[in-house]
Amino acid sequence: ATSSEDSSARLWYVDSGRCARVLQDHKEAVYSASFSPDSKQVVTASEDGTAKIWVVKTGLCKLTLKGHNFAVLWAAFSPDGRSVTTTSSDGTLKIWNAKTGVCDRTLLGQKPVYLASFATDGSTFVTASGDATAKICDLVTGESKIVLSGHESLVLGASYAPSCPQAEQAEQQAEQKDENG
């Protein structure tokens, strides 16, 4: 899936490069387009302040997610496909029910919030924002568990590794070293 300043998103056949569907219903630029885990739906985020959930098979808009005051910069499905997160230049992150389009939670605090990426198990997500931090947050409570700081400017991207045994080993070794003096 691709997104464009022309206010559309497109779905492609990767083996031929042919366009399979054009998703058009946004009024302004489309910043992101992400597939659901089962690849049956796509969620788009737009400058027009909305996100939309589309049916891949038909190309029809199933739900419009409204509630941000400014541009929606990123939208993505949770790993189980039941939730969608949207981030906005209004400094909020919203968690939506992917089936009903109801906003379950609004989280405030970072301006702007550029994106949110889920951990593989779906229990946490990491945000990237204009305050030079990334935050790891609990999906259920929305509470910030860890603040990642150190960048000197905007944090534009953040993601989880599916698993990182080297980091886990290094952390365990550091803890053992601390315990042993």
Render pLDDT for 58-69 as a digit per residue (tens, 0 to 9).
999 999 999 999
pLDDT tens digit string along 77-116?
Answer: 999 999 999 999 888 889 999 999 999 989 876 678 887 8
| pLDDT, greater one: 165 or 11 | 11
Burial class from Cβ neighbours inside 10 Å (0-12, 13-18, 19+) for residue 131 reads middle
pLDDT score recorded for residue 49? 97
Cβ–Cβ under 8 Å, residues 136 and 148: yes
The answer to whether the beta carbons of residues 138 and 146 sit under 8 Å apart is: no
Which tens digit of pLDDT belongs to each residue from 24-80?
999 999 999 999 999 999 999 999 999 999 999 999 999 999 999 999 999 999 999
Work out the burial of residue 19: count CB atoms within 10 Å of its CB; fewer than 13 is exposed, 13-18 middle, 19 or more buried: exposed
- pLDDT reported for residue 111: 73
3-state secondary structure of 149: strand
Confidence (pLDDT) at 115: 79
Convert the pLDDT of each residue in 113-129 to its tens digit. 887 888 888 888 888 88
